[in-house]
Chains A and B, each alone.
Chain A
């Protein structure tokens, strides 16, 4: 929860395991089925005591630091709540207020725009990367894979620091480079129409490695025989990609889209450190909107309601697509 940061890379890794979780149900059913059946004769007892003792630390921590806060958030979202004053029940007013707040709606729109820039760019680059690296020798591909993975583990703060300096108006490397082609210097982070795309670049940089490696893993899972058969039939490189690679990767691509989308829309470190949401709120992404209200407002009901709305929408999207994904797999056998 709290210490796991909102960094795109880590979010992707976490989401990575959550995919597994979504598809865990059948796996779970299988194991619980199997374990008792083989054991039933010899070990009729259930290991209740030892199970609960070993589970206790995790469950107690989750209850205190995740479940109680979550339930409490649901409860407080119906109150005009403050640290300092008695709270007052207001029903759905917080929800109405936050949905009528142009800043909140604006931040959602911006989040979607941000994701629309970050996710497809990262996916296309990752697809090209995976195609390139797939055929390389072990040594070189190992080096390249490690190289692209390293940005994924860099903190949002450090990435922000690097890119703020790269984007510097008068002395930054980017404007210097463009200047070689006669382009006038651009105020990357000070111009409301460019600031958000300028934040998308470090976001792609951070998220690219994990996306590319997952894509590559998916690609390496496609049996060589498919390609051999296709090339015997005279299918060229492009046709093979269109009719074998992309269809075989369908689920991986879908998964990366969802994971990338939920990570991008929840980005907070980059705008928080690089621009503080400015200029003119042009980089005020949803989580930064919520964070600002949490740290600055006296009454917290409204941002809590906003956070829960965001959770419901994002959770519903993931759940819906994951269930489609699972049922699809069931059909495939």
Chain B
């Protein structure tokens, strides 16, 4: 409302809002602090929220664990490759659906969008059969390739492309530019806001994946970070502070991504077509 709120309304509003923020961040703050405790202190009675003594060496120790660092690096590389290819593939399809006219367009659209409604679990086993037949099991390929094409991502980029004025494109067409040139010279440079959102989503999906990696990756050398953490919890249960430090570091890349791109990501959370 345009009217200025009275302090009696505004102050409780601010307090409530900060309480929401605190409640949301509390488990993470607690994880961060636990990473600084001694292993025996994480679950000590009486309970200490803050470490009684600060042990930054937990964070150093977990980084020096070769299995942890390798999992972090391998997952990061996989996620980066996954993100780049996923954006490229989905953006090309988005451009085609947004701007080109071609035979069986409607049919192709229905097929592609239809895949969005197939839950992972319905095809988990049969996807496993496919990657087995393609000899992809226990390679980085099995983590990257099967999820690259995403109708949801394509749809999001297409919505963005629909808003780019057609006049821009028609001028280029008159100048004799081909469709591919228009895509790479006009659309790609303008796509950054959409790519930030789908890029972060792709990176996150890869980084946070757990079920698919544990089904398809068996060599410890290829363990993904979530796999490593779940495994650590089972095999090295008592080293709780180390586990907390590792989990904190494993959460950091996605947290940083969101903090860096917060305005674009959070600004983009609306619902297309719903009002």
Contact = CB atoms under 8 A, between A and B. Distances in A.
Interface of A: 1-7, 10, 13-14, 16-24, 27-28, 31-32, 35-36, 38-39, 42-43, 46-48, 50-52, 54-55, 57-59, 61-62, 64-70, 72-73, 76, 128-129, 132-133, 135-136, 140-151, 153-166, 168, 170-173, 176, 205, 208-210, 213-214, 217-218, 221, 224, 227-228, 231, 251-252, 255, 266, 268-269, 272-273, 287, 290-291, 294-295, 300, 303-304, 307-308, 310-311, 314-315, 318-319, 325, 329
Interface of B: 1-2, 5, 9-10, 13-14, 16-18, 20-22, 24-25, 27-28, 30-31, 34, 42-47, 49, 82, 88-90, 92-93, 95-96, 98-103, 105-106, 108-109, 111-113, 115-130, 143-156, 159, 162, 166, 170, 173-174, 178-180, 183, 201, 204-212, 215, 226, 229-230, 233, 240, 243-244, 247, 250-251, 254-255, 257-259, 262-263, 265-266, 269-275
B269 to A, nearest CB: 5
B14 A140 contact: yes
B119 A24 contact: no
A321 B147 CA distance: 28
Per CB-CB distance, the 4 closest pairs between chain A and chain B, nearest first, are: A171-B43, A3-B147, A23-B273, A69-B126
Contacts of B125: 73, 294, 300, 303-304, 307
Contacts of B274: 19, 23, 218, 251-252, 255, 325
A19 B269 CA distance: 13
15 contacts: A2-B124, A23-B272, A35-B99, A47-B179, A54-B96, A57-B88, A73-B126, A129-B20, A150-B24, A156-B208, A158-B250, A214-B271, A228-B2, A291-B121, A307-B122
Contact of A70 (B28, B126, B156): B126
A70 B271 CA distance: 28
Contact of B271 (A58, A66, A165, A218): A218
A148 B150 CA distance: 26
A149 B258 CA distance: 9
A147 B93 contact: no
Contact of A146 (B146, B240, B266): B266
Contact of B251 (A32, A155, A314): A155
Contacts of A17: 116, 152-153, 155-156, 272
Specify which of A55, A58, A162 lies most central, judged by the most chain B CB atoms within 10 Å of its CB: A58
Nearest to B232: A161
B254 A18 contact: no
Contacts of B150: 1, 4
Contacts of B144: 3
A73 B271 contact: no
Contact of A290 (B27, B93, B124): B124
A147 B24 contact: yes
A24 B273 contact: yes
A147 B21 contact: yes
Contacts of B103: 46, 48
Contacts of A159: 27
A272 B211 contact: yes
Contacts of B226: 155, 157-158
A135 B13 contact: yes
A13 B258 CA distance: 14
B47 A173 contact: yes
A4 B206 CA distance: 6
A210 B159 CA distance: 20
Contact of B122 (A52, A145, A311): A311
A159 B247 CA distance: 9
B30 A3 contact: no
Contacts of B149: 57-59, 61-62, 65-66
A38 B43 CA distance: 69
Contact of A224 (B2, B46, B210): B2
Contact of B126 (A47, A61, A72, A252): A72
B32 to A, nearest CB: 11
A18 B27 contact: no
B229 A307 contact: no
B145 A153 contact: no
Given A24-B113, A132-B13, A251-B275, A69 B123 contact: yes
A7 B205 CA distance: 9
Contact of B89 (A51, A57, A165): A57
Given A1-B127, A2-B147, A291-B124, A266 B20 contact: no
B159 A20 contact: yes
Contacts of B127: 1-2, 65-66, 69
Nearest to A35: B101
B93 A55 contact: yes
B203 to A, nearest CB: 10
Interface centre among B119, B156, B204 (most CB of A within 10 A): B119
A136 B13 contact: yes
A73 B122 contact: yes
A329 B154 contact: no
B145 A61 contact: yes
A264 B120 CA distance: 14
B234 to A, nearest CB: 9
